[in-house]
Structure 1
Amino acid sequence: MSGVGPITQDWEPVVIKKKAPNAAARKDEKTVNAARRAGAEIEAVKKYNAGANKAASSSTSLNTKKLDDETENLAHERVPSELKKAIMQARLDKKLTQAQLAQLINEKPQVIQEYESGKAIPNQQIIGKLERALGAKLRGKK
């Protein structure tokens, strides 16, 4: 690195200026100022929902009516009691805890607990993992 001089930094101040108002804004400002000088009374009007999409708001009343008319009680499918008992029995036969079984199938222990308590929504992939890990058939006819 011979022959190279010291490195110096040359700092220049950077000035950032605010953009000037466009022609329309200046024109409005000029007319307002002229009216003030003339002594005229100036009234500012705030426009509410000026840029709102009117078409979207009118369709909500139709959807609300459909929802009000809906009487069917919808609920997620839960784990059937036969499956709960089969998982628990197969796990106990292998002498595994819920946490150990969860680790075997790469799921959280909470997932096993929910399946055995019947709170989980059945997932065929998880049931398949459980069948392979436990070596037992859990779904379909035995």
Structure 2
Amino acid sequence: MKQLQPDTLIRNPQGKPIVSCVVIACDAARLWKVVGHFGGFDAFIPALSHIEMIGAGVGALRTKCFQDGNLVVEQLNSHDEQAMNMTWTMVYNTLGIARLWAAMAVEPLAKTHARATWTIIAEPNEEEREGFVQFVQDFADNALENVRQLLS
């Protein structure tokens, strides 16, 4: 009998990063408090009905529950309060996404302005290829525009 070896279904996606940025007239700490809260994305993504968290800090899982019944489960890979950045990986979804890795970072531009940058690398399932990149870009752009409105 062949001895079982460690394995995993989680792989980093390949592809060109999809980047969305927003500059907001507020200090970086205030912006980070919104976009750096891994369990709080429902504050600026209206398509979410709620978020369920399992655990806290690096390794925590969040389930994003969408109004339309779709689910996305993601694991927090890194979270640095001082540098104001974090990364996460999708581990399950019902949206037709094969693999997804994302990062959120905030940088101060002046005492009165800050930039949030959301970087996503994602691969669609085979049947979801057409329009996929534009869908992800629009989703991130709309979410960060909601952050601008929330903090303005």
Tell me the TM-score range normalised by the shorter chain. Answer: under 0.3
Question: Hey, which of these two has a bigger chunk of strand by percent?
Answer: 2
> Which structure ranks higher in relative contact order (CA pairs < 8 Å, sequence separation ≥ 6)?
2
TM-score (norm 2): 0.22
TM-score by length of 1: 0.23
Q: Which has the higher helix share?
A: 1
Give the structure with higher Rg (CA).
Answer: 1
